[in-house]
A and B are shown apart, each in its own frame.
Chain A
Amino acid sequence: MEEANEERSGCLLLLAGLLAVLGPSPTSSIHVYTQREVYGTVGSPVTLSCSFWSSEWISEDISITWHFQAEGTRDSTSIFHYAKGQPYIDDVGTFKERMEWVGNPRRKDGSIVIHNLDYTDNGTFTCDVKNPPDIVGKSSQVTLYVFEKVPTRYGVVLGSIIGGALLLVAVVVALVYLIRYCWLRRQVALQRRLSAMEKGKLQRSAKDASKRSRQAPVLYAMLDHSRGTKAASEKKPKGAPGDSRKDKK
């Protein structure tokens, strides 16, 4: 019991020593990451994502702010503030009732969603995160472009048409070859069965008559069917002499 206590206190001492070494590290700056450009369409929502990296633990005093600078103007207004675990959304300005907080500071995410876009939303959004005592760092900017219709990147349609057509042709050719191969194999198997049956018929001619009278129609039916298909296959033009050909000599 006493040895267990000693072991536990030894472990605690080690942990404390480690923390003492690693704890008060030189304060590095906080890094904020956003996209460079975001494209949105009129009337639909757009997500402005903001993530950050801090060397400190996420404290209760963490604050996240979003500023908006409209295109062509020089002043930026504050539109969102998160402090002491409470988000404060703009309820008097241009984003009144259009903004939604979807971030989670514990997961290092400070994103917002803007619904019902309009052309007046074109501009630059700035995300700023402060995590005391880690407060030195650059904020990050994302430019929002609002279009009537999102322009597709050049080459998507081109590549998809070419790729799709080639794939389709390859699949069809593979299928045709597969079907032909299977059909030829069935022909060979049928031939083999036909010759075996003929041999069997000759050997069993001395057996019981009643048995044969019951089984004979089935055998003859199979023989007739296979002979019929064999004749049809011989009528195919491949290698058959005396067929009409194009003579251009």
Chain B
Amino acid sequence: MLLLLLGIIVLHVTVLVLFFVSTIVSQWLVNGEHTADLWQNCTSGSVFHCLTSSTNEWLQSVQAMMILSIIFSVLSLFLFFCQLFTLTKGGRFYITGVFQILAGLCVMSGAAIFTVRHTDWHQASENTSYGFAYILAWLAFPLALASGIIYVILRKRE
């Protein structure tokens, strides 16, 4: 029983860490020495300097979605601990699960919008590939969904 609780918490924290890393790290699009991401475009090479990304509306919506997913996931963790101590025996962690599922949906829509619209603010050349932060975002989506569904199905025991 304790093992189950620990496993669920570890999963939730993993999802949260994935959200943070994919939002903050500057590796969504990689092109040789240039990296472009949500917040800044950096060039490494002889000189390392960074410029802020464009103010395109689609880029802003992707940023908003990633931030929202972080907010929802943190809220969900907080509510889980609240419900752990206040829920009646046999009750379900509805709110926790709903917020976690919302966070997963947010990160999915953010990554999808980025995939479709990244040519608006970034000229794609041949060797532009997706960086690891982008992959982490897509990885976090099914994990968040699974975590949320587990919360909805789970019942509180003694």
Whether B67 contacts A238 by the Cβ 8 Å rule is no
A173 partner residues in chain B, CB cutoff 8 A = 95
Contact A246 B154, CB 8 Å, known A157-B60, A161-B61: yes
Question: In this complex, what residue of B is CB-closest to A245?
Answer: B155
Whether B102 contacts A158 by the Cβ 8 Å rule is no
A157 partner residues in chain B, CB cutoff 8 A = 57, 60-61, 64
Question: In this complex, what residue of B is CB-closest to A173?
Answer: B95
B63 partner residues in chain A, CB cutoff 8 A = 158
> Nearest Cβ distance between residue A238 and chain B, in whole angstroms?
6
Q: Which residue of A162, A243, A245 contacts B68 across the interface (Cβ within 8 Å)?
A: A162
Whether B68 contacts A161 by the Cβ 8 Å rule is yes
Q: Which of B57, B64, B65, B67 has the most CB of A within 10 A?
A: B64
A interface, size bucket:
20 to 34
Contact A246 B155, CB 8 Å, known A161-B65, A173-B95, A238-B91: yes
> Nearest Cβ distance between residue A63 and chain B, in whole angstroms?
43
B106 partner residues in chain A, CB cutoff 8 A = 165
CA of A169 to CA of B106, assembled, Å: 13
Whether A154 contacts B88 by the Cβ 8 Å rule is no
Whether A161 contacts B153 by the Cβ 8 Å rule is no
CA of A246 to CA of B153, assembled, Å: 9
CA of A241 to CA of B122, assembled, Å: 60
Q: By the criterion of a CB under 8 Å from any partner CB, how many residues of chain B are at the interface?
A: 24
A248 partner residues in chain B, CB cutoff 8 A = 4
A237 partner residues in chain B, CB cutoff 8 A = 90
Fill in one digit per residue for A160-192: 1 if any B CB lies within 8 Å of its CB, else 0.
Answer: 011001100100010000000000000000000
Cβ of B49 under 8 Å from chain A:
no
Whether B89 contacts A162 by the Cβ 8 Å rule is no
CA of A152 to CA of B60, assembled, Å: 11
Cβ of A239 under 8 Å from chain B:
yes
Besides A173-B95, A249-B1, 19 more A-B contacts (Cβ < 8 Å) are A151-B55, A155-B60, A157-B61, A158-B60, A158-B61, A158-B63, A161-B60, A161-B64, A162-B64, A162-B71, A165-B106, A166-B68, A169-B72, A237-B90, A238-B91, A239-B89, A246-B153, A246-B154, A246-B155
Whether B64 contacts A158 by the Cβ 8 Å rule is yes
21 contacts between A and B (CB under 8 A): A152-B57, A153-B55, A155-B60, A158-B63, A158-B64, A161-B65, A162-B67, A162-B68, A162-B71, A165-B64, A165-B68, A165-B106, A169-B72, A173-B95, A237-B90, A238-B88, A238-B91, A243-B90, A246-B153, A246-B155, A248-B4
Question: In this complex, what residue of A is CB-closest to B106?
Answer: A165
